[in-house]
């Protein structure tokens, strides 16, 4: 009994794995075949559908073309109908016009007889016009002769005008030459006056002793107002009178040296600072600057300077030489300027 059991245990178990593998391989081949068949069928179906879509597009295009042709034919038909209606109206109008002309022909026949009589009258009138035309031609000939004479006169006038223009050009040249010479003469006079001005300023420096409050600026000789006048006054102080007397002596000497052909003057300019004066005697700086300039001129005249060689001018505070607001700037702007210039 135990021996039989022992034998049964020793017998090998049944192996199912190779059969299972074969079954699975067969199943895989079947699935692969089915997939291949499905893909081929899908491709065929796709091609058939694509062909149908292309055919459908062509059909739609043909339908659109036919629709356009139909619209064009409809439009052409309407145009032809309009033209036909227009032609019918024109034909009716022509018929009416033809009837009217038929009536006019009858009327014109009667008028033709009257025209014959008028033609005879016009012929006689034409003869008269021919006579008048001959007279007119004679007048035209006379006018042509007068026109020729007028042209000859115009030619003579043009020649005279050309000669006048030539003389005018010559005159312009002479005037230009005279102007150039006049400018040269004026320049020489200005140079001479500048030389005398330089000598005059040099002489003034010697006379006045090179003071700091009396200076030369450009073409002007400048006195500080304090040298000549008290504050707010146009009456010269003693020192101012003394300085102006020296100045007058220099001017008298200068007048003897300057040639008479130079028409010179000494201009005396009065200036103030920007601070208003507003006194009863001088309502503004205009009055004060003018009064000081006149005082200097009067003192020069008293010392023998000819009045025709003097000019007085007041500028108030409107021509400063220092635009500052310091006391030194105010002092510099309060001044009397002397300028030797041409009249």
Nearest to 330 by CA among 342, 317, 313: 317
Q: What is the DSSP string of 272-302?
A: --SS----SS-SSHHHHHHHHHHHHHHHHHH
Res. 268: pLDDT tops 60: yes
Helix (H) or strand (E) holding 337: strand 335-342
User: Which distant-in-sequence residues (6+ apart) come within 8 Å of 285 by Cβ?
Assistant: 272, 276, 277, 316, 317
Name the residue with higher pLDDT: 181 or 243: 243
Give the pLDDT of residue 113: 67
Backbone φ and ψ of 216, nearest 5°: -105, 125
Residue 269 in 3-state DSSP? Answer: strand
Res. 3: pLDDT tops 80: no
Q: What is the pLDDT of residues 312-321, one digit of tens each?
A: 999 999 999 9
| Residue 334 pLDDT grade (very low, low, confident, very high; cuts 50, 70, 90) | very high
The whole-number average pLDDT for the span 61-66 is 78
Q: What is the dihedral of CA 91, 97, 100, 106, to 10 degrees?
A: -100
The whole-number average pLDDT for the span 119-125 is 72
Contact criterion met (CB below 8 Å) for 334 and 272: yes
Q: What is the pLDDT of residues 191-248, one digit of tens each?
A: 555 666 566 666 666 655 556 667 877 778 899 999 999 999 999 999 999 989 988 9
Q: What is the DSSP string of 90-148?
A: HHHHHHHHHHHHHHHHHHHHHHHHHHHHHHHHHHHHHHHHHHHHHHHHHHHHHHHHHHH
Nearest to 342 by CA among 259, 279, 243: 259
**Which of 173-177, 239-243, 261-265 is predicted with the least confidence, judged by mean pLDDT?**
173-177
Q: What is the pLDDT of residues 45-57, one digit of tens each?
A: 887 777 777 877 8
Q: What is the DSSP string of 200-266?
A: HHHHHHHHHTS-TTEEEETTEEEEEHHHH--TT--S--HHHHHHHHHHHHHHHHHHHHS-TTS-EEE
Give the pLDDT of residue 241: 94
Question: CA distances (Å), 267 to each of 157, 227, 336, 339, in order?
Answer: 57, 18, 10, 5
Contact criterion met (CB below 8 Å) for 192 and 263: no
Residue 73 tokens read as: 């034919």
Question: CA distances (Å), 306 to each of 115, 199, 234, 246, in order?
Answer: 109, 20, 22, 15
Give the pLDDT of residue 163: 79
Name the residue with higher pLDDT: 149 or 293: 293
Contact criterion met (CB below 8 Å) for 205 and 216: yes
Nearest to 263 by CA among 343, 182, 185: 343
Nearest to 269 by CA among 321, 231, 306, 305: 321
Name the residue with higher pLDDT: 135 or 231: 231
Q: What is the dihedral of CA 149, 155, 157, 163, to 10 degrees?
A: -160
Say what the pTM is. 0.45
Residue 11 in 3-state DSSP? Answer: coil
Helix (H) or strand (E) holding 267: strand 264-271
Q: Which domains does the chain have, with CATH numbers?
A: 187-342 (3.30.1330.60)
The whole-number average pLDDT for the span 316-328 is 93
Name the residue with higher pLDDT: 182 or 341: 341
Contact criterion met (CB below 8 Å) for 243 and 189: no
């Amino acid at each position: 009994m135990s021996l039989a059991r022992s034998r049964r245990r020793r017998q090998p178990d049944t192996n199912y794995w190779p059969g299972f593998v074969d079954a699975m391989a067969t199943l895989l081949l079947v699935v692969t075949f089915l997939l291949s068949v499905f893909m081929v069928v899908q491709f065929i179906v796709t091609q058939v559908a694509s062909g149908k879509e292309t055919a459908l597009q062509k059909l739609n295009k043909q339908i659109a073309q036919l629709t356009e042709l139909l619209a064009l034919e409809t439009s052409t038909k309407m145009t032809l109908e309009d033209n036909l209606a227009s032609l019918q109206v024109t034909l009716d109008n022509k018929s009416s016009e033809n009837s009217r002309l038929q009536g006019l022909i009858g009327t014109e026949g009667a008028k033709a007889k009257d025209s014959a009589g008028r033609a005879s009258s016009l012929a006689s009138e034409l003869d008269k016009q021919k006579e008048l035309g001959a007279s007119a031609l004679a007048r035209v000939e006379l006018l042509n002769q007068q026109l020729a004479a007028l042209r000859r006169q115009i030619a003579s006038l043009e020649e005279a005008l050309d000669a006048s223009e030539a003389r005018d050009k010559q005159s312009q040249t002479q005037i230009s030459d005279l102007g150039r010479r006049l400018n040269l003469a004026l320049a020489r006079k200005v140079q001479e006056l500048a030389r005398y001005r330089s000598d005059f300023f040099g002489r003034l420096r010697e006379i006045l002793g090179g003071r700091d409050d009396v200076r030369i600026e450009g073409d002007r000789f400048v006195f500080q107002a304090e040298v000549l006048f008290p504050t707010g006054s146009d009456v010269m102080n003693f020192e101012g009178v003394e300085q102006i007397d020296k100045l007058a002596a220099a001017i008298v000497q200068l007048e003897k040296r300057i040639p008479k052909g130079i028409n010179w003057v000494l201009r005396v300019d009065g200036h103030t600072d920007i601070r208003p004066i507003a006194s009863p005697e001088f309502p503004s700086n205009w009055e004060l600057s003018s009064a000081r300039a006149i005082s200097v001129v009067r003192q020069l005249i008293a010392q023998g300077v000819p009045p025709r060689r003097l000019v007085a001018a007041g500028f108030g505070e409107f021509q400063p030489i220092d635009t500052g607001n310091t006391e030194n700037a105010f002092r510099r702007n309060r001044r009397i300027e002397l300028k030797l210039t041409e009249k």
